[in-house]
């Protein structure tokens, strides 16, 4: 991220989450650039409440049709706390629809069904699957959530790798930036696609074996037009 633009946003006393929404980056990525540019969040205390609830923790409970009271009981917090974090993440419980879904989900759970047709507020009647915590969750919503997580993680890894192609400097779109393994035999997973679904620490360890390049430069590397030394230095054939 550009230092001047980031500094201007911080001067408006915006949180990292709000800046992330405006520039379409995850707040952890924004935090990385704040630290890299030596900037400081002036209202950090206001936005970093201790013991907060995460979006990842609340989303499946909302999608399972639970009420605020039921969510509060599930996570061991007060209804006011749950309401605060739902508002912060722009999540809403489903009211009458949620109550009907809960009744149908309870019956399906008692019948021992792993997959059941229920009403999703986003997708209408669709398949819900029973997750490890015992809640039914819309299969399509879950898939979309995984995709969002992969984009956030990819953005974070790209930022930590310098944010631009190490050969030509391209940086406009993180989707066009790839992680190229300098020593292929050491490759343990694919970072550029489905690999982004695994734990962030494992992905960071894998990214340290790579050099960040754009799609065009990556294609030239694979075609043998450009070669990279073990330290990432470039030699054009």
Taking only the tens place, the pLDDT of each residue in 91-105 is 888 665 566 666 777
Tell whether 183 and 220 lie within a shared domain. Answer: yes
Total domains, the chain:
3
Tell whether 85 and 136 lie within a shared domain. Answer: yes
Residue 211 confidence class, pLDDT cut points 50, 70, 90: very high
Residue 42 confidence class, pLDDT cut points 50, 70, 90: low
pLDDT of residue 226: 83
CB 177 within 8 A of CB 206: no
**In the chain, what percentage of residues exceed pLDDT 70?**
85
- The last residue of one of the domains, among 86, 111, 143, is 143
207 in any annotated domain: yes
Task: Classify the C-alpha dihedral 63-203-184-172 as positive or negative.
Answer: positive
Residue 231 confidence class, pLDDT cut points 50, 70, 90: low
pLDDT at residue 50 is higher than 80: no
Residue 64 confidence class, pLDDT cut points 50, 70, 90: confident
Tell whether 114 and 41 lie within a shared domain. Answer: no
Tell whether 12 and 43 lie within a shared domain. Answer: yes
Least confident of 2-6, 208-212, 216-220: 2-6
Tell whether 19 and 91 lie within a shared domain. Answer: no
pLDDT of residue 101: 67
pLDDT at residue 232 is higher than 70: no
Most confident of 28-42, 61-75, 145-159, 160-174: 160-174
Please give the average per-residue pLDDT across 140-168, as a whole number: 88
**Which SS3 state, helix, strand or coil, does residue 123 take?**
coil
Tell whether 82 and 20 lie within a shared domain. Answer: no
CA distances from 159 to 14, 90, 101, 104, 126 (A): 21, 26, 41, 44, 37
74 in any annotated domain: yes
Q: Where are the alpha helices (DSSP H) in the chain?
A: 3-11, 16-23, 27-36, 44-47, 55-63, 68-75, 79-88, 95-110, 139-160, 200-207, 215-222
Q: Cβ contacts of residue 237 below 8 Å, gap of 6+? A: 224, 225, 226, 227
Overall residue count recorded for the chain in this entry: 237
- The last residue of one of the domains, among 116, 143, 170, is 143
Most confident of 9-18, 176-185, 191-200: 176-185
Residue 141 confidence class, pLDDT cut points 50, 70, 90: confident
The β-bridge partners of 212 are 179
DSSP secondary structure code for residue 126 in this structure: E
pTM of the model: 0.51
Please give the average per-residue pLDDT across 106-129, as a whole number: 81
Task: Please give the residue range of the domain that contains residue 11.
Answer: 3-47
151 in any annotated domain: no
Residue 175 C-alpha from the chain's centroid: 14
Q: What is the mean pLDDT of the chain?
A: 79
User: What is the Cα–Cα distance from 195 to 173, expressed in whole angstroms?
Assistant: 19
Most confident of 59-63, 114-118, 218-222: 218-222
pLDDT at residue 90 is higher than 80: yes
């Amino acid at each position: 991220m550009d230092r001047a633009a980031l500094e201007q946003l911080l001067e408006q006393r915006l949180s990292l989450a709000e800046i992330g929404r405006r520039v379409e980056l995850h707040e952890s990525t924004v935090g990385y650039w704040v630290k890299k540019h030596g900037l400081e969040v002036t209202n950090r205390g206001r936005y970093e409440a201790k013991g907060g609830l995460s979006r990842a923790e609340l989303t499946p409970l909302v999608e399972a049709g639970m009420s605020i009271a039921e969510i509060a009981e599930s996570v061991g917090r007060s209804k006011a706390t749950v309401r605060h974090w739902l508002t912060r993440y722009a999540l809403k419980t489903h009211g009458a629809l949620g109550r009907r879904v809960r009744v149908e989900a309870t019956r399906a759970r008692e019948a021992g069904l792993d997959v059941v047709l229920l009403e999703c507020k986003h997708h209408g009647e669709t398949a819900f699957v029973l997750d490890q915590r015992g809640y039914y969750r819309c299969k399509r919503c879950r898939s979309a959530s995984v995709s969002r997580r992969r984009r956030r993680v990819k953005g974070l890894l790209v930022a930590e790798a310098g944010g631009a192609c190490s050969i030509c400097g391209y940086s406009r779109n993180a989707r066009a930036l790839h992680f190229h393994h300098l020593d292929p035999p050491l490759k343990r997973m694919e970072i550029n696609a489905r690999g982004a679904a695994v734990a962030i620490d494992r992905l960071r360890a894998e990214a340290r074996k790579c050099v960040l390049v754009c799609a065009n430069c990556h294609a030239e590397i694979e075609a043998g037009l450009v070669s990279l030394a073990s330290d990432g230095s470039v030699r054009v054939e």
